[in-house]
Each structure stands twice: as structure tokens, then as C-alpha cells.
């Protein structure tokens, strides 16, 4: 799934109430999609930077602790990336 398709699907799910009436779909705005894509990319960058920081840390974490921390961060990164790609299980 492309980043745009992923963002479109998320935006389509969001509902809001306007003037006390029933829920209405959020306007399918490219701006909203771009904000979602940017925020997702930011989250991925943060996790990658933390993985790098932990790997380079020579004073706080040692041996098995460092391995566990890196494994956990890699799992988080994989979940972030998988979540974006697999939002549309039917495929496109």
C-alpha cells in the first residue's frame, strides 16, 4: 500500500460532528493526508535514531541489556512500518 493510500484510508475513518448533527466524514484533504504521512515518517525516524543511539552507547547499557533494548526498538519499528503497509488487508 502506498503512503497516500494508507493516509486516505485513515482519513476516511475519521468522523466529526458539525453543529450538533450526526457524524460526518472528514474532508478528504491532501493536506490532512500529508500531515499523517509526515507524522508517520517522523515516528519512524525517531525509532531509528533511538536504535542508533542505543547501539553506540558505551556507558549505560551493556551486553544483554543492549541487545534487549535494540530488539524491542526493532520490533516497534517493524510494527510501525507494517501498520502503514497492511492497513488495507484486501490489497490494492
Domains in the chain: boundaries:
3-85
User: Across 4-8, 19-23, 33-37, 56-60, which has the greatest mean pLDDT?
Assistant: 56-60
How far apart are the C-alpha atoms of 14 and 26, rounded to whole Å? 6
- Does residue 91 carry a pLDDT above 50? no
pLDDT tens across 58-69, in order?
888 888 999 999
Contact of 70 with 52, CB cutoff 8 Å? no
pLDDT tens across 29-86, in order?
677 777 778 888 899 999 999 999 999 988 888 889 999 999 999 999 998 888 565 4
Full 3-state SS string of the chain: CCHHHHHHHHHHHCEEECCCCCEEECCCCHHHHHHHHHHHHHHHHHHHHHHHHHHHCCCCCCHHHHHHHHHHHHHHHHHHHHHHHCCCCCCC
Amino acid at each position: 500500500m502506498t503512503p497516500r493510500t494508507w493516509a486516505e484510508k485513515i482519513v476516511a475513518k475519521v468522523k466529526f460532528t458539525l453543529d450538533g448533527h450526526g457524524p460526518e466524514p472528514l474532508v478528504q484533504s491532501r493536506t490532512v493526508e500529508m500531515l499523517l504521512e509526515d507524522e508517520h515518517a517522523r515516528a519512524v525516524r525517531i525509532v531509528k535514531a533511538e536504535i542508533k543511539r542505543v547501539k553506540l552507547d558505551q556507558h549505560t547499557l551493556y551486553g544483554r541489556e543492549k541487545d534487549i533494548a535494540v530488539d524491542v526498538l526493532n520490533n516497534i519499528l517493524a510494527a510501525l512500518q507494517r501498520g502503514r503497509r497492511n492497513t488495507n488487508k484486501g490489497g490494492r
